[in-house]
Structures are given as structure tokens and as C-alpha cells.
Structure 1
Amino acid sequence: MATKQVTGGSEIDERLAALLTNANAVRAIASAVEGTIGPKGLDTLLVDRFGEVVITNDGITILTKMDVNHPAAKMVINTARAQEEEIGDGTTTATIMAGALLSEGVNQALKGVPVTRIIEGVRFGLNHAIRLMMEHSRPVKGVDEPILRNVALIAGREHEDIADLVVGAARLIGEEKLLKDGFKLSDTIMAREGAENTVFMGVVVDRKRSNEQMPKEVSNAKILIVEDALEPEEIDEGALGTEAGFQRYMELKEEFRENLEKVVSLGVNVILLDRGTTDEAEELLVDAGVLLVQRVSSRELRKAAEHTGARPIKRTGLKKPPAEIERCLGHAERVYEDEKLEHIRIIGGKGKPMATILVGAATEEVVDERERIAKDAAASVQAAVRGGVVPGGGAVEMAVAREIERLRDGVKGMAVYGVDCVIEALKRPLFQIVANAGFNPLEKVGDVMAAQMREGSDSLGIDCDTGEVRDMLALGVYDPTLVKTHALKAAGEIAEAILRIDTIIKKKDETPPGQAADIREPGDVTAEIDL
């Protein structure tokens, strides 16, 4: 890279060099995922330094597991991660369009178009593209809408069993829950080797009973959730060496035993802990026929509390009067241990209705990928319920690109070249889908453009099996509108942020004096010299 020296020893890139190096980094990231898009997309093999492998065509998995050092590439990955958090799908499309926006932006800049004018045109084009995408959206009328299965099938990479599971769970949970802020259908999914595909109203705690002598199953469960260790209050070790300290220790131990007996007398038959317990407490609970589960994750404790209506307490809460503890208890029809899958299921909680989608996998190697596929399908179904659907397969992007071309004539000055960047980016998903299917993308993109103009349709695309122009809606190819609009926003944010970078400056070393000595190798004599 060409650089020039400036006063102070900083290194500053020459004109457009910063844009070129950043754009190349983004294009490299886009090329890593573009081969996975579409029904004929292939998988990517990720290998770490220990030889562990991950085989996937999930865009966000590829991006987040890549070994990346370039700051511009990290910006792309962070934006893709935000897209995944917000919508749960569409990261591959967003990354591909961001790469196309930057490629075209660089081409225009090399021709002499000012970067500020390119950014102006990109903003104009993207704002209208998002508006037009919303206008092309078809509403989804409830969770019984048949096209939801098509959405799940496309996002789930044509795994019919996963599509059926996800749609079944959506109908079980209901539209009201799917529309609720903060609820993610994808969070209800878990995959296990050897499991049967199933959806049930309840939650899973991914732990076993603390003791095999405890009951495997409890009906009409009264559940206590303790966000603490189930053990006596601690006392300073130094105090134990004194007679008074030891006496206090014995008093706390007896008080703890009385509190446990009080809990048992309330009819509590299931206890969930986020930490451990003592041998004495475990023995007492075994004798009382209580099912105890230790070291439950905070996320699973929270879900169990919501589903059963329990109010988690600390161990000091065990000192409360029985009536107050009673109000903290949760209730469920059934709690049992699945010995094959080695987890606890809580069924029929009296709190908020919650469903779990259990995805089976034949071998350990495909468990994670099956879970990723199911999560993508669930996120797409929920997005479709919330925001409707558009024709998939890159068809609607082509229709929007045609409409942006008509708006181009109303743009003044050199900003029109930024609009051209948006038009090319909108064509890119179909281009890559066709290329991955083994057809000539230039020819097929032209065929689709001509067919859409001739028939006035926004749903014409390419059948990846035959290479013919077909109606995507007739083929059952739908994409959630929110996935598309958020992908456009994400691509625009990445492109504008990188286009605005004019200079790359190497920062001076700001390590505090003396800190460098701390990182020297032990035994290095110079490390002991105070400079």
C-alpha cells in the first residue's frame, strides 16, 4: 500500500488508498459467504488451530467464526451480528449487498465522482428502496396462514421436518406472543443427538437430577427457584477457630436445616438452584422425595420462573414465614427427567405459556447445524408474522431496482452515480443465486429484468432447477419483508461508514510507562530495570 510520511512519524494513506483497502476487506468478507446463498448454495468448512471443524452455510456462523483482523471487515461482522440479533436472518444478503455497494462506490470514485456525492446518492436510493420494498409486501393473516410453511421451508434450507416443527410451534404459541416485543421464537429451539422431533408446551432445563435416588417424575409440582447456593450462611474461617465462632457456625447450620424442613412442609417437591448444595441438604431432600436440580443456567432459571409463575429467591429468603415463601412458589402439571437426553422437562406451567422446539439429529456432528437451521426458520416465521412477506429468490429486489432506475432521472448532479450503486446492489442477490445454481448470471438477470418489465410482475425470478423464468409465488418462494428491509439498512450502514473513511492513521503507542516491563518474559534482566 502506498503511504507517505508526515510530521510526528504517523503513516497516512494517499488519496483513495484508504477506501480501496477497506473495500477490498469487505469484498473478501462478502466472497466468504456469497457461495452459500440460494437453494443451490454450498457449505463452508471452518477449521481452528486444533483441527476442530464446523461445516455450515449459515452466514452469521461463518462471519463470527472467521479469523478476521482488518477493522473494516470487523465492522461488517459487527453489523451482521446486529442484524442477527434484531431479525435472526438475512445476514448473508446484507453482507453481499454491502460488498456490491462498496464495489460500485469504489468504481465511481476511481472515475472521479466525489465520495460525498456517492454517499448522497446511496442514501437516496436506499431510502426509496426500503419504502418500495414495504409497498411490495403481502400481509400474513395470522399463524394459520399456509405460506408460513413456505417461509420456514426456504429459511430452513428445504428441511421439511424442521419447517413443520417451527410452524407447529408458532401456532401453538399464538400470534399475540409472536408479536410481543422481547420474545424470540428462535430462543425456544434446542437440538439433541438421538432426540425425536417434537414441540411441547413447557421448558427444558439442561441438567440432570442431583441424585439418582430422587424421583424421576413429579406430578402437580410445587417449584422453588433459588438464585443462590442451597447451604448455610458462611462464616469467616478465622472465627471458626474460636469457641464463639464455632457455636455460631452450628447455630447457622441448624437454622438452615430448619428452613429446609419448612420448605418441605409446604409441599415443595421440585427445587431449582443456580449453584450447588451441601451433602446434608441433598440427603434431607432425598428422604423428603424432592427433585433437586443444581447449577441451572440463569437463562433457564428465568424461563422456568416465567413458565411456572415462580418468584426466584436468595437463600436468605428461606428465613421468611411460610406464607411468604408460599407466594414465591411456581406450579406445573409435570416435571420429569428425560434419561435418554439427560435433561429435565417442566410441562404445563401455571405462569406464561411457553413452547420448546426439540430438533433431533442423527449424529453429534450435525447437531449444531440442525439447530442453526431451525433457528433461521423460526426467526423468519416470526418476522413474516410481524411484517408480512415478499417474493423471494431475488425477485423483489429486481423489481425494486427497476423502480429505482425510474427515480434516477429525478436525481440532480453526480449523486446519480450513488443511486447506480444501489441499483447494482439490489441485483446482486439474484446474480449470486443464479451463479450458485450453475447458470450464467448476466444472462439470467437480463431475462428476469425483461420478463418483469414485460409482464409488470414483481415476483418473476429464476427456477434454480431449470434455469427458466418462473413466478416465485407460484413456486412457494417467500421471504419475510423485515428480513429484506433490515438487510438493506445494514448494507447501507456498512457502505456509508466505510465510504466516509478518508484517511487511515496509525495510532501512537499509548502504553503507560512501566507497563511494557510487565509483559517481558520472566528471567529477562531488563524487565527489572526501572527506566
Structure 2
Amino acid sequence: MSQTSGSPKASEQDERLSALYSNTTAVRAIASAVEGTIGPKGLDTMLVDTQGNVIITNDGVTILNRMEVVHPAAKMLINVASAQQEEIGDGTTTATLLAAALLQEGVAQVERGVPVTRVIEGIQVGVQFALERMQSRARSLEEQGRDALYQVAMVAGREHQDIARLVTESARLIGDEKLNSEDFRLSDTVMAVVGAQSQVFQGAVIDKQRMSPQMPKRVEAARVLIVDDELEAEELDSEALGTEAGFLLYRQYKEEFRANLVRLVSAGVSAVFTDRGVSPVAEEVLGEAGVLIVQRVMQKDLRKIAEHTGARPIKRTGLSKGTEELHKFLGFAELIYEDERMENIRIVGGSGKPMATILIGASTEEVVGERLRIAKDAAASVQAAVRGGIVPGGGALELWASREVEKRRETVRGMTGFGVEAVAKALRRPMTQIVLNAGFNPLEKVEEASVAQIEQDSDTLAIDCDEGTVVDMIAQGVFDPTPVKLHALRAAGEVTVAIMRIHTIIRMKEERTYEE
């Protein structure tokens, strides 16, 4: 006799798996918020807060991070997307969809009676095998031609040709050596300004203005000093100042500081960038000498200036160094000037490493914000492609990997194989959603693509979202960076396993503090 859902045994199983069902429902809800944005026909999402502020975006991580979420499993999934963004800079929607699909398929196997632990083991085996097979299909940029870099930017940049062109030009100016550096992010060189003309600026742009209108707007052959500190004299606490000795020490600090400022001028310093504030004395002495001062510059911008000009950041205590020693900390730039209309500082011709800044313009705040997100995604994808190569996009690689995992499933003994099967099914999800968003029947079209891949022994075939026909993604110029794909699947597998391991959800008591 078949087991009905109303039987004691079924009821007992439902109660035992209640945490898993609750978490799966929450994850599915999160995935549904971004699934409509994937692919060339994906649509935008409007985010509205209680004040009526509106963000219209197609960017998965922006949608997820701005959503109001309370469920812990949903937050885990959002953290996966954030990690994908932090590590790679793109592919957040793919990571979210794969995680939701893996969890859904895993739960389906549990409902068939497969123990959760066996499903988890199978998912881990299947994900690892899929990663290995997908990695084996990576193509180098040289193999496809350098124009492939522009195509990567086009796909990640949602077919904004101007943004793809600017990002590609910037990457070529900077060079592969810099793009492969672990501490450099091309996306950090992207700036967006309302009313600006979109361009690649060969130098550094800092979103700051000079400290005072009396300071020069333009400095040629600039000798650059970076103060990774506040530019003012050493201070004493109020208690020390209350003593005669303390007051004398305070006066000594002030005199030494002024002498140090004069030494900076005699050393030829003509531009100063500081991490924190600048005292009136420093503003007076340096300003009268025609030195350009920019204060409260963000750390990442200070690093950018240092790298481009060759300057070595110095603390305020180091200002007492002799002139010859001080010269070792100075950088050089052919020109530093303030663009008053754009309200930023531009540094050109630094003696350090070459640098390019991608300036993105638009007519309104809302539009410029979205164009900034698009440009950053494109820049991150281009850098990932340089580092790890490219693979066919459009869900083609995942569909190919799905069949590879199916083959692996045949070699796995016991119930662990059901978890491997869950991975194979989940890998079809990206193409399924892309086709659905394009307005076609995903069951029909994904099967057509799969059969074509088998017949042609290819990993590049997917569905054209305009015509609904099977096409070669490589021939169409639809590329994805290999690291984006690999990290998305790896992250999805990790969060799926983490959620499936949760047996019980218990609300923690609030920690209370008692005043004595």
C-alpha cells in the first residue's frame, strides 16, 4: 500500500524535515527576485524604500543587498552573492540561481527517501567533478583573439557598446601584468559622474577638490607628497597641557611643525595629499608657497596616487626628516589639476606605474548609478577573463557539464549517486532561465540545445535569444570568464551543503546587560 501524506510516518518525516523545507522556501523566494534579470532579455527590478527613493537595476547583487530580508537561510544566500561580488566582481545572479537549483534538487532527492547525508555527499562529489570538467574547457584569450575581451565586456556590460569599448581600452592601457596582480581591481578604476563625458582618462582621478580656492588649480611638473596621517603638529592631552613643562613642549611641537612645513617647501613639494585633516598653520604655510593640498583622501585613492606617481606615503612624524631623505618619499606627475566642472582632481603622467581611469557619464543620478554598476561588472569580467581565460556563455558550458556529471553518476555506488544526480539537474538551470526570460519554452529549447551538443560533440551550443534557434556561442561572441563560472558553482555548492546540514532552527535568547 502506498504511503499517503496524511499517514503518521509521512507526518513524522515532514516534521523532521521542517527546517529544510523552511530554508528551501526562503532560498527559492530570494532566487525568484533576481531570476528575471539574467540573460540578454532579462528585465530590470525596481527597488523602493520607505522614503520613496527608487533604484532601477538589473544587477543581481544590488537587488539582493537592498532587499528587506529576515530569514536566516535567505541571508546565507545573499552572503554567497556578496562573496561572489567581492571575490570576482560578477556572476552573482548565476551563483544565486545555481544555489537555489541545487537545494531544490537536493530536497527532491530527500523526499524520495534518500538520507540527507548521502545527498550532501553526492552534491559535493558532483560539484567537484563539474568544476574540474568546466575548468578543462577554458580557452585562452590568445586562442580566441584579443577581440574576445571586448565580447566579454559586452556580455557583462549588458550590450552597452560604449561601456564595453571604454573598459576594453582601459584594460589594454593598463596591461596584463597589472591585471594579473592580486592587489589590483580594474573595477576600482571606474567612476561615474552626472553630466560627464564617458572616456578613458590616462591617469588617476580623485573624487576630491583642492582644500582652498586660493590654492593653484593646476600644478605642472608636480613633486607629490602623500601624508598617510593628519597634517598637523603633535598634540598633548589636556592634563599635560595644564603643566608648565607640558605647555613648553606644546610650543616646541608647534615650532617644529612649522619648520617641517618650511622644509617641505624648500624640498620642492608642490602637491600634498593627506589621509586626514590639515591644520590652519599647514594651510597657511603651504598655501602661501603655492602648494596644492587635497585632504581627507580615501585610502584606496591614496594607494592609487602613490602607485601612479611613485610617492611613498609618510606619517607626520616623518616630516622631520632631512631634505635629502625626504626626497626619497616624493613622487612626480607631469600635471595635477582640478576639473572644476566635474569637481575632481586629475593626475597625469606619473613617474610610477601607468594608470587609466574609466569615467562614465549620464544625465541623471538614477541613470549614472546603473551605468556605474554595469561598468564595474564589465571591468571585473574583463579582468577575470585575463586571469583565467574564457568559456562559452549562454548556459552552454553548464549544460555540457550537466551531461558530464550524469556520466559520473553512473560510476558512483549507493545513494550518494542521487546527490550527484541533483547536481546534473541543477546545472541546466542557467540556460533554462535565460531561455524563459527570452520568451521561449525552456523544456523544448534546452532539450534542443542538449541534443545538438551531443550530435556535434560540442560545449558551445546554446539558444539564440532573438530567434530561438541553436547557435554556437563562441561564433556569436558570447563569452563568460572562466573564474566567474567556477566561483559561482563552487559558492553555490558550499551554501547548499551548509543549508542542508541544518537540522533544527532555534531562536536564540537576547543577551541582556544589567547595570550595576
> 1:242 & 1:136 partners in 2: Cα distance?
74
Stretches of structure 2 lacking an aligned partner (at least 5 in a row): 1-13
Q: How big is the shift at 1:248?
A: 4.2
> 1:383 & 1:242 partners in 2: Cα distance?
60
Q: Tell me the SS of whatever aligns to 1:289.
A: coil
> 2:507 & 2:73 partners in 1: Cα distance?
15
Q: What does the per-residue CA deviation read over 1:376-399, in whole Å, with 9 as the maximum and x for residues that have no partner? A: 111111111111111110111111
Q: What does the per-residue CA deviation read over 1:44-88, in whole Å, with 9 as the maximum and x for residues that have no partner? A: 111222222211111111111212111111111112211112111
Preserved CA contact (<8 Å) 2:80 2:95 = no
Partner of 1:14: 15
Q: How big is the shift at 1:352?
A: 2.5
> 1:79 & 1:236 partners in 2: Cα distance?
46
1:299-310 paired onto structure 2 within 5 Å: 299-310=300-311
Are the structure 2 counterparts of residues 416 and 121 from structure 1 closer, same or farther at C-alpha, using a change threshold of 3 Å? same
Partner of 2:78: 77
Q: How big is the shift at 1:354?
A: 2.4
Partner of 1:313: 314
1:311-460 paired onto structure 2 within 5 Å: 311-460=312-461
Paired letter, 2:230: A
Are the structure 2 counterparts of residues 245 and 386 from structure 1 closer, same or farther at C-alpha, using a change threshold of 3 Å? closer
> 2:417 & 2:245 partners in 1: Cα distance?
85
- TM normalised by structure 1 equals 0.91
1:61 maps onto 2:62 in alignment: yes
> 1:120 & 1:277 partners in 2: Cα distance?
59
Partner of 1:129: 130
Partner of 2:295: 294
Are the structure 2 counterparts of residues 453 and 245 from structure 1 closer, same or farther at C-alpha, using a change threshold of 3 Å? closer
Are the structure 2 counterparts of residues 142 and 460 from structure 1 closer, same or farther at C-alpha, using a change threshold of 3 Å? closer
Q: How big is the shift at 1:370?
A: 1.0
Are the structure 2 counterparts of residues 116 and 248 from structure 1 closer, same or farther at C-alpha, using a change threshold of 3 Å? closer
Preserved CA contact (<8 Å) 1:144 1:171 = no
> 2:116 & 2:253 partners in 1: Cα distance?
72
> 1:199 & 1:352 partners in 2: Cα distance?
16
Preserved CA contact (<8 Å) 1:313 1:328 = yes
Q: Tell me the SS of whatever aligns to 1:157.
A: coil
Q: How big is the shift at 1:373?
A: 0.6
Paired letter, 1:19: L
Preserved CA contact (<8 Å) 2:336 2:346 = yes
1:26 maps onto 2:34 in alignment: no
Q: What does the per-residue CA deviation read over 1:127-184, in whole Å, with 9 as the maximum and x for residues that have no partner? A: 2211111122211129971111111000000000010011101111111111222221
Q: How big is the shift at 1:511?
A: 2.5
Q: Tell me the SS of whatever aligns to 1:473.
A: helix
> 1:246 & 1:408 partners in 2: Cα distance?
80
Partner of 1:110: 111
Q: How big is the shift at 1:202?
A: 1.9
1:457-496 paired onto structure 2 within 5 Å: 457-496=458-497
1:153 maps onto 2:154 in alignment: yes
Q: What does the per-residue CA deviation read over 1:259-318, in whole Å, with 9 as the maximum and x for residues that have no partner? A: 111110111100111222233321222221111111111221122112212121222222
Most deviating of 20-29 and 43-52:
43-52
Q: Tell me the SS of whatever aligns to 1:474.
A: helix
Are the structure 2 counterparts of residues 266 and 117 from structure 1 closer, same or farther at C-alpha, using a change threshold of 3 Å? same
Preserved CA contact (<8 Å) 1:142 1:385 = no
Paired letter, 2:511: T
Are the structure 2 counterparts of residues 142 and 224 from structure 1 closer, same or farther at C-alpha, using a change threshold of 3 Å? farther
> 1:34 & 1:214 partners in 2: Cα distance?
52
Paired letter, 1:220: A
Paired letter, 2:197: E
Q: Tell me the SS of whatever aligns to 1:502.
A: coil
> 1:355 & 1:142 partners in 2: Cα distance?
26
Preserved CA contact (<8 Å) 1:143 1:170 = no
Preserved CA contact (<8 Å) 1:152 1:380 = yes
Q: Tell me the SS of whatever aligns to 2:114.
A: coil
Partner of 2:511: 511
Partner of 1:184: 185
> 2:422 & 2:342 partners in 1: Cα distance?
51
Q: How big is the shift at 1:510?
A: 5.9
> 1:149 & 1:280 partners in 2: Cα distance?
51
> 1:78 & 1:98 partners in 2: Cα distance?
12
Q: What does the per-residue CA deviation read over 1:437-469, in whole Å, with 9 as the maximum and x for residues that have no partner? A: 111111111111122222222211111111111
Q: Tell me the SS of whatever aligns to 2:184.
A: coil
Paired letter, 1:22: N
Stretches of structure 1 lacking an aligned partner (at least 5 in a row): 1-12, 519-529
> 1:70 & 1:400 partners in 2: Cα distance?
32
> 1:201 & 1:135 partners in 2: Cα distance?
37
Most deviating of 193-202 and 213-222:
193-202
Preserved CA contact (<8 Å) 2:134 2:486 = yes
> 2:267 & 2:488 partners in 1: Cα distance?
53
Are the structure 2 counterparts of residues 454 and 104 from structure 1 closer, same or farther at C-alpha, using a change threshold of 3 Å? same
Q: Tell me the SS of whatever aligns to 2:462.
A: strand
Aligned length in residues: 504
> 1:286 & 1:155 partners in 2: Cα distance?
46
Most deviating of 165-174 and 41-50:
41-50
Partner of 2:215: 214
Q: What does the per-residue CA deviation read over 1:452-489, in whole Å, with 9 as the maximum and x for residues that have no partner? A: 22222221111111111112122111111111111110
> 2:312 & 2:168 partners in 1: Cα distance?
31
* RMSD of equivalent CA atoms: 2.0
Paired letter, 1:41: G
> 1:241 & 1:116 partners in 2: Cα distance?
70
Paired letter, 1:346: I
> 2:379 & 2:191 partners in 1: Cα distance?
12
> 1:239 & 1:317 partners in 2: Cα distance?
23
Q: How big is the shift at 1:210?
A: 0.9
Partner of 2:175: 174
> 1:214 & 1:143 partners in 2: Cα distance?
51
Q: Tell me the SS of whatever aligns to 2:208.
A: coil
